[in-house]
Amino acid sequence: MIAILFDGIVQGLQLSLMAVGITLIFGLGGVLNLAHGQFAVVGGIAAALLIEAGVYAPLACALGMLSAGVLGLVVDRTLLVPAYRSAGEERLLLGLLITLGLSFVVNGYLDFKYADISLTLNLATPSFNVGGITIRTASAVAALIAIVAFVLLFAFLKGTLLGKVIRSIIQNEVGAGLCGINPGRIRTVIVIMSAMMAALGGITQGLFSSLGTEMGNELTSYALIVTVVGGVRSINGTLAAGVLLGIVNAFASYYVGAYLTLIILLGTAALTILLRPEGLFAHRT
Amino acid sequence: MKTYLADYVTLILVAVVLALMPLGLGGSAYYLRLATLMLIYMAYAVAFNIIFGHTRQLFLCVGALAGCSAYISVVLVMKMSLSAWASIPVGILSAAVLGGVFSYVSVRRGLGVIFVGIVTLVSSMIFHNLILGLRQWTNGETGIETKGLGPALLAPGLGSYYAILGVLMASLVLYHLLMRSRAGAAFRAIADDELAAELAGIDVTMYKVLAATVGSALIGAIGAIYAYYGGFINPTVYGFVNVDIAVLVTLLLGGMGTMLGPVIGGVLFTILDEIVRPLGRINVLVYGVLMVLLVISFRHGLVALLRKLTGARIP
């Protein structure tokens, strides 16, 4: 029981790591990034290629994250510009369609070029004991990484001036602009950060099983479910929803099987949009 | 008083050109099949145009609606030994009801375009998983052979080409009738400015639901016909990439909110698909690039471009 719960929490944290990026980009840029899972995959595959080339694994992972960040920068500065230029529904629509197209570009390219590459990270000790419960080292490391990442993110958002600026844009873009904030600059920073966090999520996936080139859409859909349930404008909500859905996922997979689990998760997302479009936990950003 | 001469001329031209096309194909079965598939994608795009092009409801569940109708029809034929003629309407009805409900709920909840997109995308995924899960009826990923189940008319060949051309022309005529009615005026008003339309006394909910229902019914009809024509169905046949992306690209290429757009888009998309197919796996990449380019720089489509270049009134 406790093992399942723990597994669920770890999985949830990992999901949140990806989902929070979607939340941030949507909150700041008004673009629903349907290529977010692809960022994760690009980071992971880059890391895998570097490891294959003989680079020390942690360094390779860091460089993998960096490459996802670079991809984020390029996408933000080129592809998304037309979306940012328009406003309202038009921007939402453009952003959605552009990132959807981008996800196919990335999928197609990776599948074409690196079809048989996947990221698998093996740790020295597979598991250890705490108080009679066997814990996989991979889970512990993944949990730790996610927690550290979130602590850093919250510290950044609450503690620094830039963080305050970001929150102000999420709350009211026009108002922030009137205060002399340049949303474009900040947006780029956020897209890079989100892409790197997604890559981190993808790389931690490599700790448990393996991260393949074809997993982008799957990761995007899981992250999207979490984002939607947590509220597309709420960072706290996304974190909470990620953990909650991770636990639901773990228990449901154990008791009713993977197929029904996915339907339960998807159904939750659909119902959330219909009943509470602002998200289950949307009180504060 | 607006005259509809341009519409009539276009309809007749499209019908004549498409009807003569098999002559130009020189009796090759491969090209005939390709042409038939082209008609099917054109018809999907006509239906999607009503929903998305005119009332801005981003239905990312075209494949799911088509598949839903197809599977219901095929399973009814197989398990209940109904005739295909009786089961296709059931499939169409279910797609229409589903589309109508999606639309009604999202309009009532005041969901923006993005949320409609997410809800329908999520529903597509639910559909896909249901088909995989309800193995005893749907045979999961393996799919169902539909050869010999459907009407003989839909067996591959020249007969089915003209039958499906009939369906496409019927949907274009339906589109024309819809656009010249009160509903068409309402659609144009909604596409321009929804709030203003509401304030002018247009029942936005009713017309959006109408567009979604009619469009979904058409999608359902085409999905079911395709099930019998194709001879085989599985979740991938109605998958997101195979249907939704193809239809979206077709419509964007041709031009949203136009009558000729889905037809021109369908021709271009088919030619393009033929060029890309030999490249194998990289075709997904090409679709992606094409979609991004279209969205960024060619959002109004070919019909708008032709209108600008020729100055003619192309419907």
pLDDT, tens only, A237-284: 899 999 999 999 999 988 888 888 889 999 989 888 888 877 777 655
Interface contact B111-A96, CB threshold 8 A: no
A148–B contact, CB cutoff 8 A: no
Query: Can you give the pLDDT at residue B47?
Result: 97
Phi and psi angles of residue A119, each rounded to the nearest 5 degrees, phi first: -100, 120
Query: Can you give the pLDDT at residue A283?
Result: 59
Q: How far apart are CA B278 and CA A143, in angstroms?
A: 45
- For chains A and B, what is the number of CB pairs under 8 angstroms? 115
Which residues, numbered 87 to 106 in chain A, qualify as contacts with chain B under a Cβ-Cβ cut-off of 8 Å? Answer: 89, 92-94, 96-98, 100-106
Residues of B in contact with A253 (CB under 8 A): none
Q: Using CB atoms, pick whichever of A92, A104, A266 lies closest to residue B114.
A: A92
Q: How far apart are CA A228 and CA A246, in angstroms?
A: 14
pLDDT tops 60 at residue A17: yes
Phi and psi angles of residue A224, each rounded to the nearest 5 degrees, phi first: -65, -40
pLDDT tops 80 at residue B260: yes
Residues of A in contact with B285 (CB under 8 A): 104-105, 107-109, 112
Left, alpha or beta for B140 (phi > 0: left; psi -120 to 50: alpha)? Answer: left
Highest mean pLDDT among A161-170, A201-210, B13-22: B13-22
| Token pair listed for B309 | 């270049």
Interface contact A32-B114, CB threshold 8 A: yes
Which residues fall within 8 angstroms of residue B90, CB to CB, at 6 or more apart?
B72, B73, B76
CA distance A140 to chain B (A): 31
Interface contact A105-B288, CB threshold 8 A: yes
Q: What is the pTM of this model?
A: 0.91
Amino acid (1-letter code) at residue B196: A
Q: What ranges make up the beta strands (E) of A87-154? A: 118-119, 127-130, 133-136
pLDDT, tens only, A34-60: 999 999 999 999 999 999 998 898 999
pLDDT tops 70 at residue B36: yes
Distance set, CA B113 to CA B23, B83, B109, B193, B215 (Å)? 43, 39, 12, 13, 17
Say which range, A12-21, A135-144, B161-170, has the weakest mean pLDDT. Answer: A135-144
Q: Using CB atoms, pick whichever of A92, A101, A102 lies closest to residue B113.
A: A92
Closest CA to A36 of A190, A182, A168, A247: A190
Mean of pLDDT values over A8-30:
90
What ipTM does the predicted assembly reach? 0.87
Closest CA to A285 of A126, A161, A163: A163
pLDDT, tens only, A190-218: 999 999 999 999 998 888 878 888 888 88
CA distance A118 to chain B (A): 18
Neighbours of B29 (CB within 10 A): 11
pLDDT, tens only, B183-204: 999 999 998 888 899 999 999 9
Confidence grade of residue B2 (pLDDT, cut at 50, 70, 90)? low
Q: How far apart are CA A177 and CA B214, in angstroms?
A: 43
Closest CA to A103 of A210, A223, A207, A6: A223
**Domain B5-310 falls under CATH 1.10.1060:** no
Interface of B with A (CB under 8 A): 56, 58, 105-106, 109, 111-115, 117-119, 121-123, 125-126, 129-130, 132-133, 241, 245, 248, 281-292, 295-297
Domain ranges across chain B:
5-310
Could you identify the residue written with the tokens 């005529």? Answer: B173
Phi and psi angles of residue A136, each rounded to the nearest 5 degrees, phi first: -70, 135
Percent of chain A topping pLDDT 90:
44
Closest CA to A144 of A1, A241, A5, A9: A9
Query: Can you give the pLDDT at residue A284?
Result: 52
Query: Can you give the pLDDT at residue B49?
Result: 96
| Token pair listed for A119 | 């990221």
Q: Which residue on chain B is closest to A95 by alpha carbon?
A: B295
pLDDT tops 70 at residue B70: yes
Test the A interface: residue of B121, B241, B244 with most A CBs within 10 Å: B121
Confidence grade of residue B227 (pLDDT, cut at 50, 70, 90)? very high
Distance set, CA A13 to CA A65, A220, A245 (Å)? 18, 15, 10
Q: What is the dihedral of CA A37, A40, A45, A48, to 10 degrees?
A: -140
Mean pLDDT, chain B, as a whole number?
Answer: 90
Highest mean pLDDT among A103-117, A179-193, B18-32, B53-67: B53-67
CA distance B105 to chain A (A): 7
Q: Using CB atoms, pick whichever of A103, A104, A270 lies closest to residue B122.
A: A270
Query: Can you give the pLDDT at residue A27?
Result: 85
Phi and psi angles of residue A128, each rounded to the nearest 5 degrees, phi first: -145, 170
Residues of B in contact with A106 (CB under 8 A): 288
Q: Which residue on chain B is closest to A101 by alpha carbon?
A: B288
Which residues, numbered 64 to 83 in chain A, qualify as contacts with chain B under a Cβ-Cβ cut-off of 8 Å? Answer: 79, 82
How many helices and strands, by DSSP H and E, does chain B display?
15, 2
Query: Can you give the pLDDT at residue B1?
Result: 47
Q: Using CB atoms, pick whichever of A93, A100, A263 lies closest to residue B129.
A: A263
pLDDT, tens only, A89-146: 888 889 999 999 999 999 989 988 888 888 888 777 777 777 777 778 888 888 899 9
CA distance B31 to chain A (A): 27
